[in-house]
């Protein structure tokens, strides 16, 4: 909690764009830490397993079982969305870091 307060204090005097970039860098770092944690690794593994499981089950569902097809599609989408949010957080953090480095070089 104190790390967050220190971070907020450090960026408090920055312009809004720089604040946003630093916040996105921190988001990327938080996602990296989460993925490397036991809980993060477990949840990423569960999402990957759920996605594959849904696709494998989907290929064997009779065409007329629309409810089951929808259920499996939603299961795959939920897992895919979770992984996409993590990738997006990492990408936004990397992009923000690059922008800040460019700004530092321009100054």
Judge whether residue 107 has pLDDT over 60. Answer: no
Question: Which one, of 8, 12, 39, lies nearest residue 26 by Cα?
Answer: 8
Which pTM does this prediction carry? 0.83
Q: What does the pLDDT look like over 65-81, one tens digit per residue?
A: 999 999 999 999 999 99
Q: What does the pLDDT look like over 75-103, one tens digit per residue?
A: 999 999 999 999 999 999 999 999 998 88
Average pLDDT of the residues in 2-22 = 81
């Amino acid at each position: 909690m104190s790390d967050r307060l220190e971070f907020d204090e450090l960026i408090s005097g920055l312009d809004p764009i720089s604040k946003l970039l630093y916040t996105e860098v921190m988001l990327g770092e938080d996602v990296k830490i989460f993925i490397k944690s036991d809980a993060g690794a477990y949840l990423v593994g569960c999402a990957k397993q759920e996605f594959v499981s849904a696709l494998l089950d989907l290929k064997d569902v009779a065409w007329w079982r629309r409810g089951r097809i929808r259920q499996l599609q939603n299961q795959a989408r939920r897992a895919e969305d979770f992984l996409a949010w993590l990738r997006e957080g990492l990408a936004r953090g990397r992009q923000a870091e690059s922008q800040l480095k460019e700004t530092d070089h321009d100054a």
